[in-house]
Amino acid sequence: MPDCAPPLATITPPGQALPAGACDTHFHVFGPAHVFPYAEGRPYTPPDAPFSQARHLHRQLGFTRGVIVHPGCHGYELAPTLDALEQGQGQYRAVALLPPDVATARIAELDRLGVRGVRYNFVAHLANGGWDELAAMAPRIAPFGWHLCVHSDQASLPGLLPRLAALGVPFVIDHMGRVAAGQGVASEAFQALLALQGHPGAWVKISGLDRVSSLATRPFGDGEALVSALLDAMPDQLLWGTDWPHPNVAGDMPDDGELLNTFLRLCPDDGMRRRILVDNPHTLYRFAP
């Protein structure tokens, strides 16, 4: 039985049209379990959230591109993600979970299919692999132009950032590092995130507003200061994502339309919006023209 709540059935409509080629750089595909069973020993069991639902959401919001972040509940079995890439007909990319002994030929095959990075969790209840495994994978993915996708939290982020910056491989910090919005922009962890400004190959996702918020109810307004600080400091290094279908949410289920409208309000400049929603994803995930 699922132990996660499903996403909202009805969302707030977007307040403005998105630029052509806009990309949701962080969402998941779950199941359907009767076709793609969930892994044994998984950290959570979600309700099914197939690619057809994700694509419907993207059409509602105005996204024509997306990046599937392969979830821990499917383990190293990439079939649901690869099936979604095939259905996406070139307009979707993916980030995978890979075993440490993955063959180089398999990495090459996945690159051809649209995978562009490997994800590592440093959040305690989701941890996969570890630093040694990540560091060993970095030189193996470098020839393919892939990046490391890092899911950290308040405790792990400050220690991870110097080591990531020294690897020489692009890296993405998910959900604004999951730093605590309640501690404010001046917190040590968030200042460490801002210190990535200008670092070649360092990217930060404006996603998971509910995950950084100290509030359990929408619209998670205390996280807006973090978003604004990132927009001011490093728009050329930012990506935006829904985090749909929002697994393991403790409070209110986020409203994806509301999340998008919050971003559009905090980022009123059309040029900056296009950079974050279109140009930056195009650079990192290498979408075809």
Q: Do the domain assignments include residue 2?
A: no
Q: Do the domain assignments include residue 135?
A: yes
User: What is residue 199's three-state secondary structure?
Assistant: coil
Structural domain of residue 271, as residue ranges?
23-285
Rounded CA separation 166/14 (Å): 40
Specify whether the CB–CB gap between 250 and 213 falls below 8 A: no
Rounded CA separation 242/258 (Å): 10
Per DSSP, what are the bridge partners of residue 147?
117
Enter the tokens of residue 243. 């985090």
Q: Do the domain assignments include residue 209?
A: yes
Q: Do the domain assignments include residue 6?
A: no
Enter the tokens of residue 190. 């968030």
Q: Do the domain assignments include residue 125?
A: yes
DSSP 263: H
Q: Which amino acid is at 221?
A: G
Q: Do the domain assignments include residue 73?
A: yes
Enter the tokens of residue 248. 């393991």
- The pLDDT tens digits for 145-156 are 999 999 999 989
Q: What is the per-residue pLDDT for 3? A: 82
| 232 belongs to the catalytic site | no
Count how many domains the chain has. 1
- The pLDDT tens digits for 244-267 are 999 988 889 999 999 999 999 999
Q: Do the domain assignments include residue 66?
A: yes
Q: What is the per-residue pLDDT for 216? A: 87
Tally the C-alpha atoms within 13 A of residue 202's C-alpha that lie toward its C-beta: 21
| pLDDT band per the 50, 70, 90 thresholds, residue 289 | confident
Q: Do the domain assignments include residue 1?
A: no
Q: What is the CATH number of the domain that holds 218?
A: 3.20.20.140
Q: Which of 243, 255, 256, 279 is catalytic?
A: 243
The pTM score is: 0.96
Specify whether the CB–CB gap between 28 and 256 falls below 8 A: no
